[in-house]
Amino acid sequence: MLFIFDLDDTIYDYMDPFKKTVSQLLGIEDPAACWNLYQSYRRFSDQVFPMSQAKTISLEQAGYLRSELMVKHHGIDLDARGIREFHETYRQNQQKIQIQPVVKEILTKLKDSNHKIAIITNGPGSHQARKIAQLNLEEYVDPGNIFISGYYGFDKPDHRIFDIAINRLRPKNEAVYYIGDNYHADVIGAKNAGLLSIWLKIRDFQVDDTTIKPDYTVESYEQLETLIEALIGG
C-alpha cells in the first residue's frame, strides 16, 4: 500500500508555533481567542499565497502581509515594527516544529511493515522544504517521494500535483491513500485524482459543500492510527 500524507496540520501541528507567538508577543493564552486569530491568519495566508506564487511579492513580504492583515482585522495594537517582530518570532518558532507523536508512531509502523510513504504539500518550495528538514521526515520518507506544489506550479486540489506524484511513485495494483486535514485541498484533490481519501477532521473549518465524500473520516490522531493499523492489517 502507498500512503501519501499532507504536511501542514497533518504531520505536525501548524498551530503550535502560532500559539507560542501569540502568547509571547500578545500575551494571549485563551485557546478560543488564539484559535480565532489563527483562523484569520490561515484565511489571509490563503489570500496572500497566490501573490507569492506569482512572485508579485517576495516570500518575506508575504510573511509580513499575512501578519499585518490579521493584526488590522482584529484591531490589535501593533505598529509596523511590532508586526515585523510578530512575523519574525513566528518564523523562529516554526523552526522548532516537531512531528505529532502519534504520526511518528504511524510512520514508524508503515516503514517497518514496508509500506510506501510519500508527501504532497502545498506551499512555496523552499519554505516547505525547510519544514520537512526540521521535522527530520527523511528518516521515514525517501526525498524523491516528497512533492511540494511550489516546485511544480500546481496546488492541491488540482489533480495534476497528484498525477505527478503517482507517475513518479508508480503504485502497482495497490491501494493508494491520501491523508490530509483540509477538505477542499486534500479530500477533493485526492478524490479528483482517483485516490482513496482519509480526512483527518481535527480542525473546525467551515465546509459549505461536501458533495465529494472522503472514503474515511477520522476525528483524532488516535483514530487515524487505529484506521491505518486496520488497513495494513496489524
List interacting residues with Mg ion (CB under 5 A).
6, 8-9, 181-182
Minimum CB–partner distance for residue 121 and Mg ion (Å): 8
CB of 85 to Mg ion, least distance (A): 27
Closer of 8 and 155 to Mg ion (Cβ): 8
CA angle 25, 26, 30 (to 5 degrees): 125
Q: Burial of 128 by CB count in 10 Å (0-12 exposed, 13-18 middle, 19+ buried)?
A: buried
Least Å distance between CB 230 and Mg ion?
23
Tell me how far the alpha carbon of residue 102 is from its chain's centroid.
16
* Between 71 and 185, CB nearer to Mg ion: 185
Q: Which is nearer to Mg ion, 12 or 86 (CB)?
A: 12
Q: With contact defined as beta carbons under 8 Å apart, do 66 and 44 qualify?
A: yes
Q: Which is nearer to Mg ion, 83 or 159 (CB)?
A: 159
Tell how strand 146-148 and strand 176-180 pair up: unpaired
Smallest distance from the beta carbon of 180 to Mg ion, in angstroms? 5
Phi, psi of 73, rounded to the nearest 5 degrees: -60, -35
What is the phi/psi pair of residue 191, to 5°? Answer: -65, -40
Nearer to Mg ion, 67 or 182 (CB): 182
Shortest distance, position 57 Cβ to Mg ion, whole Å: 23
Beta bridge partners of 179: 5, 198
For residue 3, which of 102, 99, 111, 100 has the smallest C-alpha distance? 111
Distance from C-alpha of 234 to C-alpha of 230, rounded to nearest angstrom: 6
Helix axes 31-53, 15-26, angle to 10 degrees: 110
Instruction: CB nearer to Mg ion: give 9 or 68.
Output: 9
- In the complex, least distance from residue 28 CB atom to Mg ion, rounded to whole angstroms: 23
